[in-house]
Copies of this chain bind each other. A is one copy, B any other.
Amino acid sequence: MRIAVLGTGTVGETIASKLVTLGQEVRLGSRSPNNEKAAAWAKRLGQGASQGTFADAAGFGEIIFNCTLGTAVLEVLNAAGRDRLSGKILIDVTNPLEFRKGQPPTLFVSNDDSLGERIQRAFPDVRVVKALNTINCEVMVDPARVPGEHAVFLAGNDPAAKEEVSTILRSWFGWNQVIDLGDISAARATEGYLLLWLRMMQVLGTSDFNVRVVKGN
């Protein structure tokens, strides 16, 4: 499958690399056609790996992983281009982290709105699925780093899109507890969880952790 990964940060690169090793064709998108980091990544990964602008990547991909900074999301998707995104599944991995107001970070959208909803409102034709934003990127693509069953959450308005994303998470990445929380407004819940994730990361002293949802009998 041809896949676009928007964003050359740690999250984007980690997901893009995993997808290439799985035999997918991956185009890493950034602001510039000559991003040094993206070019080095494509050279290092070799076959299946290419890079270009956000628009290049979005035009190439059948599915889009959105791994940009939360603060840049709409600007990046506008640069990618409405027509190149239309009708496609966009897996939104972003979080609305506000680092400029001191530690611990707060969220610049929360409670009664979310980045997932903002994207869906701005791009009504895009099949937005919020996913993977509650886990460190190394665990995203290799859940076995954390023992046993543990959870990844989905939120989105398109059941078929969520089904496809669930298959990608289970079959490609190895996830074993995929929980569909409902429509895209449930992105409020998983983005809001970041505050708890950050505290846990501090006290556990590692980002190699996750939660397992356990039900009563």
Q: Which residues of A are at the interface with B, using a C-beta cutoff of 8 A? A: 101, 104, 106-107, 110-112, 139, 145-148, 150-151, 153, 179-182, 185-186, 188-190, 192-193, 195-196, 198-200, 202-204, 206, 208-217
Contact = CB atoms under 8 A, between A and B. Distances in A.
Given A214-B147, A216-B146, A196 B204 contact: no
A186 to B, nearest CB: 5
A180 to B, nearest CB: 7
Nearest to A216: B208
B181 A189 contact: no
Nearest to A181: B199
A199 B182 contact: yes
A187 to B, nearest CB: 10
A111 B209 contact: no
Say whether chain A's binding surface is mostly helix, strand, loop, or mixed: mixed
A208 B216 CA distance: 5
B182 A202 contact: yes
Contacts of A112: 101, 106
B188 A195 contact: yes
A37 to B, nearest CB: 27
A188 B192 CA distance: 10
Contact of A211 (B111, B186, B212): B212
Contacts of A215: 146, 204, 206, 208-209
Nearest to A196: B189
Given A212-B211, A213-B209, A182 B203 contact: yes
Nearest to A198: B189
Nearest to A210: B214
